[in-house]
Amino acid sequence: MTATVFHRARIVDPSRGLDETGTVIVDGGKILASGASAFNQGTPESATVVDCAGKALLPGLVDSRVFIGEPGGEHRETIASASVAAAAGGVTSIVMMPDTDPAIDNVALVEFVLRTAKDTAIVNVFPAAAITKQLAGREMTEFGLLREAGAVGFTDGRHTIASSLVMRRALTYARDFGAVIAHETQDADLASSGVMNEGLYASWLGLAGIPREAEAIPLERDLMLARLTGGAYHAAKISTALSIEAIRRAKADGARVTAGVAIHNLALNENDVGEYRTFFRLMPPLRAEEDRLAMIEALKDGTLDVIVSSHDPQDVDTKRLPFADAEAGAIGLETLLGVALRLYHNGDAPLLRLVETLSTAPARLYGLEGGTLKPGSPADIVLVDLDEPWIVSESAIRSRSKNTCFEGARLQGRVLQTMVAGHTVFSV
């Protein structure tokens, strides 16, 4: 493996609070030196020197909520195709959701994911195991065995656990194994047949709405149980100002609570649904503009910890339908960074904070190596031109599915090179 020296780069490393111009030296799959003085320490013989000329070097992104079809839905996305899309988006590690067919609820399937990823993926793939068997919300899985097999956390993916007793037990057992419970909350009865945010716009379109309370009520229950058990709880995808306030209170009470947001809930609102555009049929739904602005404020003040793509590939058969009949979900691995950088260019969030939520914080949440440019850490690195404009086009999408919210969007900030353990897995 040839050593690589990235010279004159803007080094953005939230793990050290670092945002400065300097050099990063990579050799043997590790970062040897990183910072303003690194070049003066000498470079390895025969090293490839990359003059970054003001481009930004970030720790590789860690996307902690990625849905993949394999096994069972390989026509939508495989582990291999998702990894190619991830690399193009600067994502070097993905946490794979258990929503497969069959669900990742036993040791054999965790081992299958790890083995398939090792054989076919070009980025790091970490399986999250199901909290309950078959994602049914009733009988818990074998946390200890799944953790030992390589599951980095526990979640029922798109499914909300209705039973408070099951959630209490899950938080207790996960605490004993040093694992996090990531939960997506939606009260099935309140949401009912809703397909978008409840409000005036849904009424105009004649579509059934999902009230904000459908997310907030089961979230409040979970936060109480997190306080009760002392377990680590992660609100996987929140979308409303009500939820933000609940997270804020729980953190103030000292509960072991973190929260994530999908990139589309930071960048879009309910008006983007337009005239029944099914690529904007998402869960949680796109909310009102005041909710979106509340999410941005929560990102800045630390109430929100993580930004995810919520990459959820759907094919033509499930999306080219009437809005109410279409499946929820959008792909997002390739656009995650570009869309997030809108917040930086708009002045809504500092770059250091943005990279923390995209890389350092999710790595810390799941106990993963990565999310840092510290010497001695794995050389998972992304080189970005923060100012280069580009347009999202369906023909350039590497994912097997094309259901993006951002087709035709003009973005600013392009990935030039992605490196995983010192190997270049993507370059322009």
Residues 234-275: tens digit of each pLDDT: 999 999 999 999 999 999 999 999 999 999 999 999 999 999
**The predicted structure's pLDDT at residue 37:** 86
User: For residue 398, is it within any domain?
Assistant: no
The phi, psi pair for 418, rounded to 5°, reads -125, 135
Q: pTM (2 decimals)? A: 0.96
Task: Verify cis geometry, omega within 30 degrees of 0, for the bond prior to 284.
Answer: yes
Q: Are residues 224 and 319 in the same domain?
A: yes
**The predicted structure's pLDDT at residue 167:** 98
**The predicted structure's pLDDT at residue 35:** 93
CATH number of the domain at 10, please: 2.30.40.10
Q: Are residues 113 and 258 in the same domain?
A: yes
Q: Are residues 263 and 361 in the same domain?
A: yes
The phi, psi pair for 420, rounded to 5°, reads -120, 120
Q: Report how far residue 401's alpha carbon sits from residue 385's, in angstroms, rounded to the nearest whole number.
A: 26
Q: Are residues 66 and 53 in the same domain?
A: no
In this structure, the strands spanning 381-391 and 410-420 are antiparallel
Q: Are residues 131 and 164 in the same domain?
A: yes
The phi, psi pair for 146, rounded to 5°, reads -65, -40
Q: Which residues contact 9 (CB under 8 A, 6 or more apart)?
A: 21, 22, 23, 24, 52, 54, 55, 56, 57, 383
User: For residue 393, is it within any domain?
Assistant: no
In terms of C-beta density within 10 A (0-12 exposed, 13-18 middle, 19 or more buried), how is residue 200 classed?
Answer: exposed
Q: Are residues 103 and 126 in the same domain?
A: yes
Q: Are residues 93 and 155 in the same domain?
A: yes
Q: Are residues 228 and 311 in the same domain?
A: yes
User: For residue 400, is it within any domain?
Assistant: no
User: For residue 402, is it within any domain?
Assistant: no
Q: Are residues 99 and 184 in the same domain?
A: yes
Angle of helix 213-229 relative to helix 241-252, nearest 10 degrees, comes to 10
Low-confidence ranges of the chain (pLDDT < 70): 1
User: For residue 177, is it within any domain?
Assistant: yes
What is the extent of the structural domain holding 139?
60-365
Q: Are residues 344 and 287 in the same domain?
A: yes
**The predicted structure's pLDDT at residue 45:** 80
Task: Verify cis geometry, omega within 30 degrees of 0, for the bond prior to 102.
Answer: yes
- Alpha carbons within 13 angstroms on the beta-carbon side of residue 371 total 23
**The predicted structure's pLDDT at residue 46:** 85
> SS3 for 317-333, per residue?
HHHCCCHHHCCCCEECC
CATH number of the domain at 102, please: 3.20.20.140
Q: Are residues 126 and 149 in the same domain?
A: yes
Element counts in the chain: helices (H) and strands (E): 14, 18
User: For residue 200, is it within any domain?
Assistant: yes
Count of the separate structural domains present in the chain: 2
User: For residue 372, is it within any domain?
Assistant: no
User: For residue 396, is it within any domain?
Assistant: no
Q: Are residues 292 and 356 in the same domain?
A: yes
Distances (CA, A) of 91 to 83, 237, 382, 407: 8, 19, 8, 19
User: 159 — alpha (psi -120 to 50), left (phi > 0) or beta?
Assistant: beta
**The predicted structure's pLDDT at residue 182:** 98
